[in-house]
Amino acid sequence: MKTLLIKNARVLVTMDDQRREIKDGAVYIRDNVIEQVGASADLQQHADEIIDASGHVVMPGLVNTHHHMYQSLTRVIPAAQNGELFNWLTNLYPIWAGLTAEMVHVSTLTAMAELILSGCTTSSDHLYIYPNDCRLDDSIEAAHKIGMRFHASRGAMSVGQSKGGLPPDRVVEEEGAILKDTQRLIETYHDASRHAMQRVVVAPCSPFSVSQDLMKESARLARAYGVSMHTHLAENVNDIAYSREKFNMTPAEYAEDCGWVGPDVWHAHCVQLDDDGIYLFARTGTGIAHCPCSNMRLASGIAPIRKMLDRGVSVGLGVDGSASNDAGHMMGEVRQAMLLQRVGFGPDAMTARQALEVATLGGAKVLNRDDIGALKPGMSADIVMFKLDGIGMAGALHDPVAALVFCTPPNVSYSIINGKVVVRDGQLCTVDLPVVIERHNALASQLAMGAAG
């Protein structure tokens, strides 16, 4: 049993039931679980390893609830820089058709490295396109290698253009094969236990790329195994128009009709979710992944997060895929979440601490976990440390916790995931990052050139 003590934190943000912020705080970890939290002087002083957190904010690792990590290979593609969702997708599908297993693996490492360095310790990923030799197994292996807590979503597209869907026929799969592979992945990788490092999620892509039948069958499969369900919903006005025209329903009605509401379900975006939908989600415990940068980038609108929180909807934060962000900086996303609510609903619509709560406790709830998102005894040891002596926070140290959100988004100096030090002195310990970036760039240009040729 290895013990680790983090002590002398300038402020320790617990996100516990009283939302305590402890001055000169400390955390004592045994193996992968938090054993004690309190003032440095009050905790056990001996441990196998001691990390001095002087001059740092120490807080629970952030939780990312929506991403498409493979899209890190197709950032700022010129033809997709200035369109709304459907136009953006139509320009990218032909490029993504060239995706390979190695590209999935390397881009997952790249996206996770960026997330981890920016304060995230748990992420979901929604991989919904499986051309060539691509498998979800390759992103699960990448997560294991880099040491990130991972909810791998087996996405899918089954309705191509010839059947009235948006994606070209060559990137969609047959529904029987999708369900079979999803079942294989759950049986191979899903770990339902407390402190699990890998879980599998059932995740057909969106109303405009899968059938109602696949939505219903997926829900049946997920519930037979007790795994979570995830998809895109009510992202922009065209998305709403498609649901009205094709199903004669609002997105919320469609979700309910397919069995896609409940505490085991979370939907990405919900920018255009109507009041009835908000009540439905609150009543059923259905979660939302809010992705402010992507919503701004694609001009989808401003999700009514203040209203959703007030009505009791579970809301987490997501950076979304890196073709529509095009950053994957988790603390940067927290900042944008706070700012965007203010643009939409006034200066008191979201505080820095509320934004941090959405990104920690909110994300944990949306992913259906009770073991992450807070620093308290019995929780998983997922802890991040931000150093306060940089230029970005100069002059803001009277409130270092708010400074993390208001000032230039910082990177972590330490990240501990499941009790293991994954970032030390600002450097990733688990992968050779320059090598990963070099390979990622080579694969990105190969992918773009393949589409051009």
Applying CB under 5 A, the residues found at the interface with Zn ion are 268, 320
Report whether 286 contacts 233 (CB < 8 A): no
Q: How far is the CB of 449 from Zn ion (least distance, A)?
A: 25
Integer Cα distance of 419 and 414 in angstroms: 12
Q: How far is the CB of 374 from Zn ion (least distance, A)?
A: 27
Of 40 and 123, nearer to Zn ion (C-beta) is: 123
Of 320 and 357, nearer to Zn ion (C-beta) is: 320
List the structure tokens of 113. Answer: 């490295």
Q: How far is the CB of 166 from Zn ion (least distance, A)?
A: 14
Q: How far is the CB of 126 from Zn ion (least distance, A)?
A: 6
Of 173 and 320, nearer to Zn ion (C-beta) is: 320
Of 57 and 268, nearer to Zn ion (C-beta) is: 268
Of 320 and 371, nearer to Zn ion (C-beta) is: 320
Integer Cα distance of 356 and 352 in angstroms: 6
Q: 330 — phi, psi (to 5°)?
A: -65, -45
Q: How far is the CB of 289 from Zn ion (least distance, A)?
A: 8
Taking the CB of residue 369, how many other CB atoms lie within 10 A of it?
21
Q: How far is the CB of 30 from Zn ion (least distance, A)?
A: 37
Integer Cα distance of 52 and 40 in angstroms: 10
Report whether 18 contacts 32 (CB < 8 A): no
Cβ neighbours for 60, distance < 8 A, ≥ 6 positions apart: 13, 14, 15, 121, 360, 372, 373, 374, 375, 379, 382, 383, 384
- Sign for the pseudo-dihedral over CA of 237, 157, 437, 124: positive
Which residue in 363, 421, 378 sits closest to 195, CA to CA? 378
Report whether 341 contacts 309 (CB < 8 A): no
Q: How far is the CB of 320 from Zn ion (least distance, A)?
A: 5
Of 250 and 324, nearer to Zn ion (C-beta) is: 324
State the angle between helix axes of 175-189 and 212-225 in degrees (0 to 180), rounded to the nearest 10.
Answer: 20
Of 134 and 268, nearer to Zn ion (C-beta) is: 268
For residue 387, CA distances in Å to 5, 38, 47, 87, 150 come to 17, 20, 23, 41, 26
Of 40 and 107, nearer to Zn ion (C-beta) is: 107
Residue whose pair of structure tokens reads 């236990």 in the numeric block: 193
Q: How far is the CB of 132 from Zn ion (least distance, A)?
A: 21
**119 Cα distance to chain centroid:** 12
Q: How far is the CB of 68 from Zn ion (least distance, A)?
A: 6
Of 157 and 268, nearer to Zn ion (C-beta) is: 268
